[in-house]
């Protein structure tokens, strides 16, 4: 990684006070649960960085309100939804260990039989489509439990994933609220260290594991450090491609690729367009 990437990341990470970030997210979680009139959040716990940070912050919120004597009967319920062939055993163990550490009630629901049955019934094979199906089946289970428990589903996507569209539409991108969606992946990792999460989670490579050996950076052909640095320059510093290349010496092709990913994934961050039959001219 170049010195310029390091410099940008340092600027990005140091731009936040993580005590303040934690307080704001905890307040956000409490405020939205209070406003909804519900008592429970449902989270998909993968053993990865983002879901672990989200779970920890939610558990902290529950503890804070109990300590203040404001026990509304709120609770967090986690689903761990592995695919026995695809999901690494380490991820399952990390998810279970975190749930036990935080005192979260959880259920482990292997999903391979359901997924395999549907793929077989459909009869058309596509690695990407099958991977997206896996993500959408997990979200079906999360919302099923949300219905049963009259709960809200916590999204765990970070800003890096959301801005480049690196998630499954109506899969892991579906949620009732997104607590960490304003934090780049690098900032989520810094927050995880601030929250003193296990190093095995903090340093874990991003791995959607929608198929065997599925690692984010391998599929994207860029590291998250590079992606975050470029996103920070584009979105926060409001620099154009030429300025980023000339100022920081970052490879132009990579800057253009991140810019194009942001543009091409706008539809994922937007509500479906509605045909306004009362409007003339369009």
Q: How far apart are CA 189 and CA 195, in angstroms?
A: 10
Q: Beta partners for 244?
A: none
Strands, sheet with 75-80, edge to edge from the N-terminal-most edge strand: 105-108, 75-80, 40-44, 152-153
Residue 229 has pLDDT above 80, yes or no: yes
At 175-204, the pLDDT tens digits run 999 999 999 999 999 999 999 999 999 999
How buried is 91 (Cβ within 10 angstroms: 0-12 exposed, 13-18 middle, 19+ buried)?
Answer: buried
The helix (run of H) or strand (run of E) holding residue 248 is helix 241-248
Does 184 fall in a domain? yes
Does 4 fall in a domain? no
Residue 228 has pLDDT above 90, yes or no: yes
Does 244 fall in a domain? no
Tell me the whole-structure pTM to 2 decimals: 0.95
Q: Which residue has the tokens 């289970």?
A: 141
State the average pLDDT over residues 217-235.
Answer: 96
Residue 69 has pLDDT above 80, yes or no: no
Alpha helices (H) along 44-168 = 49-67, 89-102, 112-122, 127-149, 159-164
Does 274 fall in a domain? no
> Are 152 and 128 a contacting pair, CB within 8 Å?
no
| Helical packing angle, 49-67 and 18-36, nearest 10° | 70
Does 275 fall in a domain? no
Does 227 fall in a domain? no
At 145-180, the pLDDT tens digits run 999 999 999 999 999 999 999 999 999 999 999 999
The pLDDT of residue 67 is 84
**Domain range holding 195?**
16-218
pLDDT category at 279 given cuts 50, 70, 90 is confident
CATH number at residue 176: 3.40.50.620
The pLDDT of residue 2 is 74
At 85-118, the pLDDT tens digits run 999 999 999 999 999 999 999 999 999 999 999 9
Number of other residues whose CB lies within 10 A of the CB of residue 227: 25
Residue 248 backbone phi and psi in degrees, to 5: -115, -10
Count up the domains in the chain and report the number. Answer: 1
Does 179 fall in a domain? yes
Contacts of 144 (CB under 8 A, 6+ apart): none
pLDDT category at 26 given cuts 50, 70, 90 is very high
Residue 1 has pLDDT above 70, yes or no: no
State the average pLDDT over residues 38-42.
Answer: 97
């Amino acid at each position: 990684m170049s010195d310029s990437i390091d410099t940008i990341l340092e600027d990005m990470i140091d731009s936040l006070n993580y005590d303040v970030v934690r307080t704001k997210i905890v307040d956000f979680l409490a405020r939205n649960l209070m406003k909804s009139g519900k008592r429970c959040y449902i989270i998909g716990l993968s053993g990865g960085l983002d879901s672990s940070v989200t779970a920890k912050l939610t558990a902290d919120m529950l503890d804070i309100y109990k300590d203040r004597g404001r026990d509304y009967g709120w609770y967090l319920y986690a689903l761990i939804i592995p695919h026995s062939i695809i999901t690494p055993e380490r991820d399952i163990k990390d998810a279970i260990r975190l749930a036990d550490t935080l005192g979260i009630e959880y259920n482990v629901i292997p999903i391979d039989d359901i997924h395999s049955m549907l793929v077989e019934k459909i009869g058309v094979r596509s690695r990407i489509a099958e991977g997206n199906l896996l993500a959408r089946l997990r979200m079906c289970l999360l919302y099923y439990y949300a219905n049963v428990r009259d709960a809200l589903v916590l999204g765990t996507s970070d800003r890096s994933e959301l801005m480049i569209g690196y998630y499954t539409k109506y899969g892991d991108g579906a949620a009732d609220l997104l607590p960490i969606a304003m934090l780049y992946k690098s900032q989520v990792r810094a927050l995880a260290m601030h929250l003193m999460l296990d190093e095995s989670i903090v340093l874990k490579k991003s791995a959607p594991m929608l198929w065997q050996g599925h690692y984010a950076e391998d599929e994207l052909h860029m590291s998250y450090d590079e992606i975050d640095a470029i996103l920070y320059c584009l979105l926060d510093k409001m620099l154009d491609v030429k300025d980023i290349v000339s100022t920081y010496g970052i490879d132009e092709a990579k800057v253009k690729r991140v810019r194009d990913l942001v543009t091409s994934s706008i539809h994922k961050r937007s509500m479906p367009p509605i045909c306004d039959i009362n409007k003339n001219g369009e």
